[in-house]
């Protein structure tokens, strides 16, 4: 009987101790138990453990420690936030962008201005200890000397060329260039087009193979020169229809590439400002009467809408009217 009571008492003590212990606690996002508690699965009553923020995160408030109380852990108040790497420095002749920000896991993207090439990494990652790399640099684009062309020269002739610099070829007398005579140093450190070739062509070949489109379309009118079809070296002079101004060169020549040089011009509308006549000014949308050449009693009524001063109130808004009242010949 005594033995049975002793056994039951031992069981009750063990059961009481077990019921007061706590299992391994689980932290909040971006934190873990400190290393000294990782291998322990059960903690006795009144045991105290601590959490730490994961790599790339830092404490932003609260206590990292909790206590086992009668089988339950106290509230964990620690919070962790991403570390900030801050902004990188400036890149001369380039830009640094942060698509997502400057915190742990974000990246900086570096680009160079036109005419400059990136030397180094184009992306840098924000890591636990800061930015994971050095800023690259933007060096000016350089193009090497273009190739020599048989029976041709080019200017300027030097060892290297900067972005946007133009090299111009010239064929020897009596030879014709096939291809572009001008090469431009581009972003990639290469000239934008291949050099031309210089060759002697027969007129009959060009008559059959070279033909430029008719530039006389729309507002462009013929003034002087060749008539279609336009073959190699055909020259024509153009002008704009009445009431339009020419933008570009009026004299065109058909090149070996079947294109007009220096390019077909365009026409823009002439918009002269009429001078004030009589007692009213056109500034605020009033009517002006102008005598029309050749008629004593013919007038052009010009109406300028009140676009700047709404409801100017001086005259009603009327359309432009042209009419002939009488013709008195003297």
135-139, 218-222, 287-291: range with lowest mean pLDDT: 287-291
Ranges of H-type helices in the chain = 2-20, 203-209
Residue 99 included in any domain: yes
* The predicted structure's pLDDT at residue 277: 45
Residue 307 included in any domain: yes
Bigger pLDDT: 172 vs 313: 172
Question: Among 141, 168, 57, 147, which Cα is nearest to 105's?
Answer: 57
- Give mean pLDDT, residues 104-127: 96
* The predicted structure's pLDDT at residue 3: 47
Is there a single domain that holds both residue 237 and residue 308?
no
Tell me the whole-structure pTM to 2 decimals.
0.49
The percentage of the chain sitting over the pLDDT mark of 90, rounded to a whole number, equals 55
Q: Is the pLDDT of residue 160 over 70?
A: yes
* The predicted structure's pLDDT at residue 202: 56
- Give mean pLDDT, residues 301-313: 40
Residue 88 included in any domain: no
Which residue range forms the structural domain that includes residue 148? 143-200
Residue 290 included in any domain: yes
Q: Would strands 137-140 and 116-119 be described as parallel, antiparallel, or unpaired?
A: antiparallel
Number of structural domains, the chain?
5
Residue 103 included in any domain: yes
- Give mean pLDDT, residues 88-93: 94
Give how far Cα 46 sits from Cα of 32, 67, 71, 173, 218, Å: 20, 6, 9, 103, 95
Residue 87 included in any domain: no
- Give mean pLDDT, residues 19-46: 94
Is there a single domain that holds both residue 176 and residue 236?
no
Is there a single domain that holds both residue 8 and residue 70?
yes
* The predicted structure's pLDDT at residue 271: 64
Is there a single domain that holds both residue 186 and residue 148?
yes
Is there a single domain that holds both residue 126 and residue 156?
no
Is there a single domain that holds both residue 106 and residue 173?
no
71-80, 123-132, 297-306: range with lowest mean pLDDT: 297-306
Using alpha carbons only, give the angle 54, 57, 60 rounded to the nearest 5 degrees. 115
Q: Is the pLDDT of residue 299 over 60?
A: no
* The predicted structure's pLDDT at residue 137: 96
Is there a single domain that holds both residue 288 and residue 315?
yes
* The predicted structure's pLDDT at residue 227: 83
Bigger pLDDT: 173 vs 231: 173
* The predicted structure's pLDDT at residue 130: 95
Residue 89 included in any domain: no
Residue 239 included in any domain: yes
Bigger pLDDT: 78 vs 313: 78
196: tokens are 């031309």
**End position of a domain, from candidates 162, 181, 200:** 200
115-129, 130-144, 192-206: range with lowest mean pLDDT: 192-206
CATH of the domain at 41: 2.10.70.10
Is there a single domain that holds both residue 154 and residue 195?
yes
Is there a single domain that holds both residue 135 and residue 150?
no
Q: What burial class does residue 9 get, using C-beta atoms within 10 Å of its C-beta: 0-12 exposed, 13-18 middle, 19+ buried?
A: exposed
Q: Is the pLDDT of residue 49 over 50?
A: yes
**End position of a domain, from candidates 253, 269, 285:** 269
Is there a single domain that holds both residue 32 and residue 103?
no
Q: How many helices (H) and strands (E) does the chain have?
A: 2, 30
Q: Is the pLDDT of residue 14 over 60?
A: no
Q: Is the pLDDT of residue 328 over 60?
A: no
**End position of a domain, from candidates 60, 82, 104:** 82
pLDDT band at 19; cut points 50, 70, 90: low
Q: Is the pLDDT of residue 119 over 70?
A: yes
- Mean pLDDT of the residues in the chain: 80
Is there a single domain that holds both residue 265 and residue 283?
no
204: tokens are 């009959």
pLDDT band at 180; cut points 50, 70, 90: confident
């Amino acid at each position: 009987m005594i033995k049975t009571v002793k056994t039951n008492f031992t069981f009750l003590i063990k059961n009481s101790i077990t019921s007061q212990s706590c299992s391994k606690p689980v932290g909040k996002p971006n934190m873990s138990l400190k290393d000294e508690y990782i291998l322990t699965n059960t903690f006795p009553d009144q045991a105290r453990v601590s959490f730490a923020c994961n790599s790339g995160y830092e404490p932003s408030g609260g206590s990292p420690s909790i206590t086992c109380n009668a089988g339950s852990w106290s509230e964990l108040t620690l919070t962790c936030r991403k570390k900030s790497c801050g902004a990188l420095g400036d890149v001369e002749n380039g830009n640094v962008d942060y698509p997502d920000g400057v915190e742990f896991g974000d990246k900086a993207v570096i680009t160079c201005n036109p005419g400059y090439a990136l030397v180094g990494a184009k992306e840098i990652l924000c890591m636990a200890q800061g930015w994971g790399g050095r800023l690259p640099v933007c060096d000016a684009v350089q193009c090497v000397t273009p190739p020599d062309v048989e029976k041709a020269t080019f200017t300027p002739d030097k060892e290297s060329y900067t972005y946007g610099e133009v090299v111009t070829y010239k064929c020897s007398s009596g030879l014709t260039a096939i291809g572009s005579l001008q090469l431009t140093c581009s972003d990639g450190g290469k000239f934008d087009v291949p050099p031309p070739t210089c060759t002697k062509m027969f007129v009959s070949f060009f008559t059959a193979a070279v033909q430029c489109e008719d530039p006389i379309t729309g507002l462009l009118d013929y003034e002087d020169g060749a008539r279609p079809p336009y073959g190699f070296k055909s020259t024509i002079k153009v002008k704009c229809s009445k009431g339009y101004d020419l933008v570009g060169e009026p004299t065109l020549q058909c090149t070996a590439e079947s294109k007009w040089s220096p390019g077909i011009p365009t026409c823009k509308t002439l918009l002269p400002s009429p001078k004030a006549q009589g007692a009213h000014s056109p500034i605020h949308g009033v009517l002006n009467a102008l005598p029309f050449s050749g008629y004593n009693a013919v007038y052009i009524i010009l109406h300028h809408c009140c676009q700047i001063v709404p409801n100017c109130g001086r005259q009603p808004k009327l359309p432009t009217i042209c009419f002939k009242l009488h013709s008195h010949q003297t």
